[in-house]
Amino acid sequence: MVNKDLSVSLCGIQMKNPVVPASGTFGFGLELADTLDINTLGGISLKGTTREARFGNPTPRIAECTEGMINSVGLQNPGIDVLVNDKAPFLRKIYGGVIIANISGYSVEEYAFNCSKAESCPDIDIIEVNVSCPNVHGGGMAFGTDPSSAAAVTKAVKEVTGKPVFIKLSPNVTDIVSIAKACEDAGADGITLVNTFLGMRIDIKRRRPVIANKMGGFSGPAIFPIALRMVWQVSHACNIPVMGCGGVRRAEDVVEMMMAGATAVQVGAENLRNPFVCPEIVQQLPAVMESLGIEKLQDIIGIV
């Protein structure tokens, strides 16, 4: 095996490699612990968590697409108390990498409450805040589609935690840079790009949407070029690190994301097709680096 340095430093936290299963595609890390060696992964972004337990949206929740999928799971999760008292501590007993709590909320107050709980859990290293949720006090518009709303969530969260905070942004906007910069100005330690695009499929025989919720989040290889563009734009406009996400399925995609400016790279939809893809990417990275004349992954971050 080719010996290469895969390590990266994310907000001062050392990661053995930049590969992270994205939230919602890897459970709480525990579900696959008996199937694969989770300690090969640089980090794990846990299932999105709300204040109260949620059953999620009605079924069907998944629709297949060319080079991707649409999902409308609806943040099914057991609630913040189960995350901090059960899931994260149990994962830490068997996993030595970076544990990332993915936090959702339907009001600024809920985001702050959940993040204060995550702050109290020593097993959580990074808090990733999903601002793609609808603001129940703001007409249902997602927090992440407006710079001031995204900044308000960021500010509230930073007031209750000293852990690194990454804001995970929605790509369903016209100007991703302005929103990312608003989060940076409000104190964000990093940005995760991108969440899913809004998509839809119709069953032409039944003449109705495939998904019960009509629309859902479109992810998979088809979105990679757009996600890459947003990573490049934001990483060059902001002075905080970016975790790239969107359509990643190969070691070459990880390298491309890092050249665009990502410090770490999340793998999402591909986990659902191939649960072994993340350790496979880690295993393939040294050979790809060798073919490109790369000794250290840290050296290629943002070189384009």
Set 115, 121, 133, 245: catalytic member: 133
The two structure tokens encoding residue 191: 């940005």
Q: Which positions ≥6 away from 110 have C-beta within 8 Å? A: 50, 51
Q: Is 133 a catalytic residue?
A: yes
- Which active-site residues does the annotation give? 133
